[in-house]
Amino acid sequence: MAITLSGISNDILSTTIYEIKDEVAEGLFETTPFLSVAKKLGKIKSFNGGYKLVVPVETKEHSLVTVLDSGWEALDLSVQDFTDQAEYDWTRIAIPVLISGREEAENSGDRAIIDLAEARFKNAMSALMRQINKQIVQNDSAFTAMGTLNGNTASDGGTGAGGVSTGFLEALATEIDGGSPANTMGGLSRTGIRGLQNQYLDGAGSFSISEMFELETKASTLMPAGGDGGRFHLTLASPAAYTAYRNALFNQERYVDASTLDASGITALQFSSGVIMPERNLVKTGAAGNEINSMMMLNLDGVQLYTHQGADFDFTGFENISGYDGRYGRILFMGGLTANQLGSSALYTDAES
pLDDT tens digits, one per residue of 207-226: 999 999 999 999 999 988 88
Q: What pTM was computed for the model?
A: 0.84
CA atoms within 13 A on the CB side of 321: 13
Distance, in Å, from the CA atom of 200 to the CA atom of 247, rounded to the nearest integer, reads: 23
Amino acid at 283: V
Over residues 19-63, the pLDDT tens digits come to 656 655 555 555 688 988 898 899 999 998 788 998 888 765 656
95 phi and psi, to 5 degrees? -130, 130
Q: For position 284, what pLDDT does the model report?
A: 86
Cα-trace Rg, the chain: 24
**What CA–CA distance (Å, rounded) separates 80 from 232?**
32
- As a whole number of angstroms, the distance between CA 74 and CA 67 comes to 9
In CATH, the architecture of 1-59+80-353 is: Alpha-Beta Complex (3.90)
Question: What CA–CA distance (Å, rounded) separates 302 from 184?
Answer: 15
CB atoms within 10 A of CB 24: 19
Quote the pLDDT of residue 255.
62
Structural contact between residues 343 and 199, judged by C-beta atoms closer than 8 angstroms: yes
Task: State residue 199 phi and psi, 5-degree precision.
Answer: -75, 150
Sign of the C-alpha dihedral computed for residues 9, 12, 18 and 21 taken in this order: negative
Q: Please give the pLDDT value at position 83.
A: 67
User: Residues in the chain with pLDDT < 50?
Assistant: 1-5, 157, 262-265
CB-based contact 148:51 (threshold 8 Å): no
Gap between the Cα atoms of 339 and 87, Å rounded: 10
- On the CB side of 176, CA atoms within 13 Å amount to 13
Q: DSSP character for 153?
A: -
Q: What local confidence, expressed as pLDDT, does residue 16 receive? A: 65
Dihedral angle, C-alpha 9, 10, 11, 12, nearest 10 °: 60
Distances (CA, A) of 178 to 172, 184, 276, 348: 9, 18, 28, 17
Would you state the pLDDT for residue 5? 47
CB atoms within 10 A of CB 324: 11
Compute the distance between CA of residue 168 and CA of residue 276 in angstroms, rounded to an integer: 19
CA distance 228 to 300: 10
Residue 229: which region, alpha, beta or left (left: phi > 0; alpha: psi -120 to 50)? left
Supply the DSSP string of 266-332, one letter for each residue: ---EEETTEEEEE-TTSS-TT--GGG-EEEEEE-TTTEEEEEEEEEEEEE---EE-TTSSEEEEEEE
